[in-house]
Amino acid sequence: MDSDANIRDLSALADGTLDPARREQVRARIAASPELTALYERERSVVALLHDARARDRAPAALRERIDRAGARRSSTRLAVPRLNLANRLLAGLVATAAVVVALVLLLPAGTPGSPSVSQAAALATRVSTSPAPGADPDSPKKLGTNVENLYFPNWGPRNGWNAVGERRDHINGRPATTVFYEKGGVRIAYTIVGAPVLNTPASRNWVGGFEQLTLDGRQVVTWRNADKTCVLSSAGSNVPKPVLLALAQQS
């Protein structure tokens, strides 16, 4: 049942590379075997996941180019390299899918298409800065010299000791998302502003004024809206309590 020939044919049928003249023959062979039918459906599921991720086309251009080059190399060596058995191919497919999902998680919508969420913005707190911290705005020392759609980040250092230590820029479903990292006493927090329109917010009743307090993946989060943009202040871990974050948010 799981001979190399059967595995090769089953896999090729699932990913569309089987010779069209042999497709009906292979389909009949699969249909006659409950085991092959189950394996074929699993293989098709993996292929569907990969095609779905590719169809969304949200990965950065550089990443897409690397994936395309890797695919071309695999295609050029297809005849020279024996196919893996189906179990290993399924595992490889799932790993590849997981890698694509990780690469796209900040770029694809959460929940329904076109509906990115506060959860995605809060996840940026766990990432590293990609550029130095912005300095104070020379025209307004209470602000830092970086903004998202003219909404500026606060310069908390002189007021309460939370000094900006780094910055990173991302996009969430096409919307600009800039994060400034602050530190005090070796503890780090992240303040993210996401461009308009506002993001979906997880259901919560923990509102204080216009500020919502959340716990997302173990991180403490405070979020609010300002000029049709979404502000998300979060801890990199769980060591900054919500009242501290809330007090900072109220000073932003």
pLDDT confidence of residue 245? 93
pLDDT confidence of residue 165? 95
Which is more confident, 97 or 138?
A: 138
Q: Rounded distance, CA 5 to CA 66, Å? A: 31
Chosen domain end from 70, 104, 138: 104
Please indicate, yes or no, if residue 112 is contained in any of the structural domains. Answer: no
Q: Rounded distance, CA 232 to CA 212, Å? A: 10
Please indicate, yes or no, if residue 146 is contained in any of the structural domains. Answer: yes
Chosen domain end from 79, 104, 129: 104
pLDDT band at 13 (very low <50, low <70, confident <90, very high): confident
Q: Which of the given ranges, 21-30, 56-65, 108-117, has the highest pLDDT on average?
A: 21-30
Average pLDDT over all residues of the chain: 76
Q: Rounded distance, CA 14 to CA 24, Å? A: 13
The range of the structural domain enclosing residue 96 comes to 4-104
pLDDT confidence of residue 82? 45
Average pLDDT score over residue span 174-201: 91
pLDDT confidence of residue 177? 94
In the beta sheet, which residues pair with residue 190?
181, 234
Token pair listed for 129: 């800065």
pLDDT confidence of residue 79? 43
Average pLDDT score over residue span 194-221: 82
Please indicate, yes or no, if residue 181 is contained in any of the structural domains. Answer: yes
Residue 106's SS3 state is coil
8 and 87 in a common domain: yes
Q: Rounded distance, CA 152 to CA 119, Å? A: 22
Domain count, the chain: 2
241 and 150 in a common domain: yes
pTM above 0.75, yes or no: no
In the beta sheet, which residues pair with residue 154?
143
pLDDT confidence of residue 195? 93
pLDDT confidence of residue 203? 64
pLDDT confidence of residue 101? 44
Token pair listed for 231: 């502000």
pLDDT tens-digit profile of 73-91?
554 444 444 444 545 555 5
Around 191, how many Cα atoms within 13 Å sit in the side-chain half-sphere? 30
pLDDT confidence of residue 90? 52
What letter does residue 112 receive in the DSSP assignment?
S
Residue 176's SS3 state is strand
pLDDT band at 201 (very low <50, low <70, confident <90, very high): confident
pLDDT confidence of residue 103? 42
Which residue type sits at 188?
Answer: R
Q: With CA atoms as reference, report the closest residue to 198 among 126, 146, 149.
A: 149
Please indicate, yes or no, if residue 42 is contained in any of the structural domains. Answer: yes
72 and 124 in a common domain: no
Place of tokens 């095609």: 51
90 and 133 in a common domain: no
Which is more confident, 176 or 74?
A: 176
CA distances from 26 to 7, 22, 29 (A): 11, 6, 5
pLDDT confidence of residue 109? 35
pLDDT confidence of residue 144? 96
pLDDT tens-digit profile of 215-247?
888 888 999 999 889 999 998 666 788 889 999
Average pLDDT score over residue span 118-123: 87
Chosen domain end from 104, 135, 162: 104
Q: With CA atoms as reference, report the closest residue to 230 among 182, 178, 183.
A: 178
Please indicate, yes or no, if residue 240 is contained in any of the structural domains. Answer: yes
Answer yes or no: is pLDDT of 55 > 80. no
In the beta sheet, which residues pair with residue 23?
none
Average pLDDT score over residue span 26-42: 82
CATH of the domain at 181: 3.30.200.100
Q: Do the bridges between strand 211-216 and strand 219-226 make them parallel or antiparallel, or are there none, so unpaired? A: antiparallel
